[in-house]
């Protein structure tokens, strides 16, 4: 329960950081594009100081977002017992990873799944999988004539 609450808070922090980044970018754009019509030295110096401060805030905000993303990843991993990375499906293929069609009992199993790939109309699955009829997922690949040829 505490991990779920942490997850919610971290997702809110990431969203807040995204909003602040957008606001900082709008401010930077306004200052650099809008500018002032006065070209005096004091005005230019103030503008440069403001730009420097906004860029500092932008860097701090990016660091905060990265830290929240990492903490969120760790929290989800701790809560679910899963670390899944690099799942990729291309060329009309399918890839499944994690807990697939399982009950709550299996979800207590720790999994660390990496680099699952499906390419060129192939099918890949990794993790705890139950009650999946693979012919339904890729009928042209695993069912019918292709299945008979493979046996």
Nearest alpha carbon to residue 3 among 72, 84, 104: 72
pLDDT tens-digit series, residues 17-69: 999 999 999 998 888 876 555 567 778 888 889 999 999 999 999 999 999 99
Q: Is the dihedral of CA 98, 104, 106, 111 positive or negative?
A: positive
Average pLDDT over residues 97-112: 68
What's this model's pTM, rounded to 2 decimal places?
0.51
69 contacts 14 by C-beta, under 8 angstroms? yes
**How large a percentage of the chain has pLDDT more than 70?**
75
Q: What are 73-77's contacts with CB under 8 Å, separation 24+?
A: 75/3, 75/6, 75/7, 75/10, 76/7
Q: Is 17 exposed, middle or buried (0-12, 13-18, 19+ CB in 10 A)?
A: buried
- Cα separation, 13 vs 109, whole angstroms: 29
Higher pLDDT, 137 or 127: 127
Average pLDDT value for residue range 132-147: 53
- Nearest-Å Rg of the Cα atoms of the chain is 25
- The rounded distance, in Å, linking the Cα atoms of 47 and 51 is 6
Provide mean pLDDT across the span 74-95: 74
pLDDT of residue 106: 62
Give the model's pLDDT for residue 94. Answer: 72
Query: What are the residue boundaries of the structural domains of the chain, listed by start?
Result: 2-80, 83-150
Rounded distance between C-alpha atoms, residue 41 and residue 26, angstroms: 24
**Average pLDDT over the chain, rounded to whole?**
76
Residue 52 near residue 100, CB atoms below 8 Å:
no
């Amino acid at each position: 329960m505490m991990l779920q609450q942490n997850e919610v808070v971290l997702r809110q922090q990431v969203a807040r950081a995204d909003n602040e980044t957008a606001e900082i970018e709008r401010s930077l754009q306004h200052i650099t594009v809008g500018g002032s019509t006065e070209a005096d030295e004091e005005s230019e110096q103030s503008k440069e100081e403001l730009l420097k401060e906004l860029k500092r805030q932008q860097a701090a905000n990016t660091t905060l977002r990265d830290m929240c993303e990492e903490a969120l990843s760790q929290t989800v991993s701790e809560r679910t017992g899963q670390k899944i990375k690099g799942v990729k499906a291309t060329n009309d293929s399918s890839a499944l990873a994690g807990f697939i069609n399982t009950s709550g009992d299996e979800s207590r199993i720790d999994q660390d799944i990496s680099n699952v790939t499906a390419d060129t109309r192939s099918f890949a699955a990794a993790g705890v999988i139950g009650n999946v009829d693979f012919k339904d997922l890729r009928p042209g690949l695993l069912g019918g004539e292709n299945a008979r040829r493979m046996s």
